[in-house]
């Protein structure tokens, strides 16, 4: 019986994977591929830096869901798709394999933009790096309190002033404030520098939102170096493209994300960002067997390209899952319609966030609580949780 079931491969287990696992239970032979047996709620991950959230809390236990839904887990990375042959290439510790599918859901997200000397910076992904950064920053303060005069010991640089970099700076401020109190070193002796290539922080959002975020960051005493491009990192340096050298013992890279380049080499149609171009059913255009969701899909809605944020990916998951099932059953597909307005929120440390919904922009602790509430609502469906961990 099982042998007659179609094979569905989940290439990457982002926000759509668990919906697909649940919908396809008993209806298909499902293979889930992901580098790790867990995934991470990225929207919560910046708070690993201050220690407000733990790794355990931000992780989604993929393997448990895979096993509970009778699917097979293959650790590794998909590196190519051969649509004509309906196969894909998987690279893992076991080597390189070719796997055949009847239907494929691509949900690999985006990856951090590379930069020269990236090994000298802490990065937002993998999430473990932020925990390592927290330990390092605590040590910098402790060393300084013990009389260590290493240049740039209390200079902390975040490169990238999008939502991620801005959130990281808020967390960095909280951590530094805590360490200042612990060591007795005045916070004013530390330099917190946010370097941003564009003229404004969180470029791409509405002006009232941008202004509110920038005001909150300035209020912390952070130096904002707008219009400055980081060219490379060294073991204790940050180099800008205008030749400026900055000595900083702590460097965090949040310079944006890009669609994995291998996606554009598979002979599948791609959109303006290089992601797979999908139709209203989230099928890769011109393909009967491949769907894509989240950041690795370019979805054009009217005349605009849907932004690559989690609030869209989360809603695409159930539609893609239903459509996989409908493809298997030969039923008509259901279209995906993005929300007209979405809740966007940037935390600036643990007490303040700036939120936007439609034309409404507001700031304060209430925005933080609301963001945490939405994360709690989402995460509690995926694992047992203590709600107290989300509200502080």
The angle subtended at Cα 290 by Cα 279 and Cα 325, nearest 5°, is 95
- The three-state secondary structure class of 215 is helix
Q: How far apart are CA 230 and CA 245, in angstroms?
A: 10
Task: Specify the residue, 12 or 255, whose C-beta has the smaller distance to ligand FAD.
Answer: 12
CB of 256 to ligand FAD, least distance (A): 10
Backbone dihedral angles phi then psi of residue 350, each to the nearest 5 degrees: -85, -15
Contacts of ligand FAD in 139-178 (CB under 6 A) = 163-164
Q: How far apart are CA 348 and CA 168, in angstroms?
A: 8
CB under 6 A: which stretch of 33-41, 93-101, 207-215, 381-389 binds ligand FAD?
A: 33-41
Contacts of ligand FAD in 334-353 (CB under 6 A) = 345
Contacts of ligand FAD in 115-134 (CB under 6 A) = 124
- Cβ neighbours for 108, distance < 8 A, ≥ 6 positions apart: 11, 12, 14, 78, 260, 263, 296
Interface with ligand FAD includes 42 (CB under 6 A)?
A: yes
Interface with ligand FAD includes 310 (CB under 6 A)?
A: yes
Task: Specify the residue, 296 or 333, whose C-beta has the smaller distance to ligand FAD.
Answer: 296
CB of 191 to ligand FAD, least distance (A): 23
CB of 36 to ligand FAD, least distance (A): 6
Strands 72-75 and 95-100, by their bridges, are unpaired
CB of 199 to ligand FAD, least distance (A): 22
Residue in 309, 328, 369, 370 binding ligand FAD, rule: CB under 6 A: 309
Size of the chain in residues: 392
Burial environment of residue 192 by CB neighbours within 10 A (0 to 12, 13 to 18, 19 or more) = buried
CB of 58 to ligand FAD, least distance (A): 10
Closest CA to 178 of 141, 207, 231, 212: 141
**What is the chain's alpha carbon radius of gyration, rounded to the nearest angstrom?**
22
Give the total of residues touching ligand FAD (CB under 6 A): 31
Interface with ligand FAD includes 35 (CB under 6 A)?
A: yes
- Judged by the rule CB under 6 A, the positions of this chain that interact with ligand FAD are 11-16, 33-35, 39, 42-43, 45-46, 77-78, 107-109, 124, 163-164, 294-296, 308-311, 313, 345
């Amino acid at each position: 019986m099982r042998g007659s079931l179609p094979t569905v491969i989940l290439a990457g287990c982002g926000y759509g994977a668990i919906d697909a696992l649940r919908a396809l239970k008993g209806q298909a032979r499902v293979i889930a591929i992901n580098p790790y047996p867990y995934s991470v709620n990225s929207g919560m991950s910046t708070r690993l830096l201050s220690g407000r959230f733990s790794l355990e809390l931000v992780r989604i236990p993929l393997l448990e869901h895979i096993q509970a839904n009778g699917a097979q887990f293959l650790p590794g990375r998909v590196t190519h798709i051969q649509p004509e042959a309906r196969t894909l290439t998987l690279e893992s510790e076991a080597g390189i394999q070719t796997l055949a599918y009847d239907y494929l859901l691509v949900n690999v997200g985006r990856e951090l933009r590379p930069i020269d000397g990236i090994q000298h910076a802490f990065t937002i992904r993998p999430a473990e790096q932020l925990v390592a950064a927290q330990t390092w920053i605590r040590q910098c303060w402790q060393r300084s309190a013990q009389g260590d005069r290493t240049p740039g010991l209390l200079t902390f640089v975040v490169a990238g002033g999008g939502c991620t970099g801005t959130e990281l700076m808020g967390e960095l401020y909280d951590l530094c404030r805590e360490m200042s109190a612990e060591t007795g070193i005045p916070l004013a002796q530390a330099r917190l520098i946010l370097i941003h290539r564009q003229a404004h922080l969180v470029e791409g959002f509405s002006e009232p939102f941008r202004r509110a975020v920038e005001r909150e960051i300035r209020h912390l005493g952070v130096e904002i170096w707008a219009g400055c491009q980081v060219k490379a990192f060294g073991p204790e340096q940050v180099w800008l493209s205008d030749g400026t050298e900055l000595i900083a013992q702590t460097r965090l890279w949040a310079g944006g994300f890009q669609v994995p380049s291998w996606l554009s080499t598979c002979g599948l149609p791609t959109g303006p960002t290089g992601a797979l171009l999908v139709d209203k059913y989230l099928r890769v255009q011109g393909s009967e067997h491949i769907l894509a969701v989240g950041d690795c899909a370019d979805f054009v809605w009217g005349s605009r390209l849907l932004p690559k944020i989690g609030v869209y990916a989360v809603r695409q998951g159930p539609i893609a899952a239903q459509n996989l099932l409908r493809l298997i059953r030969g039923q008509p597909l259901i279209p995906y319609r993005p929300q007209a307005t979405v809740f966007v929120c940037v935390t600036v440390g643990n007490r303040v966030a700036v939120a936007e919904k439609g034309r409404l922009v507001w700031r304060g602790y209430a925005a933080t609580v609301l963001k945490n509430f939405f994360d709690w609502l989402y995460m509690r469906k995926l694992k047992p949780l203590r709600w107290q961990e989300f509200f502080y």
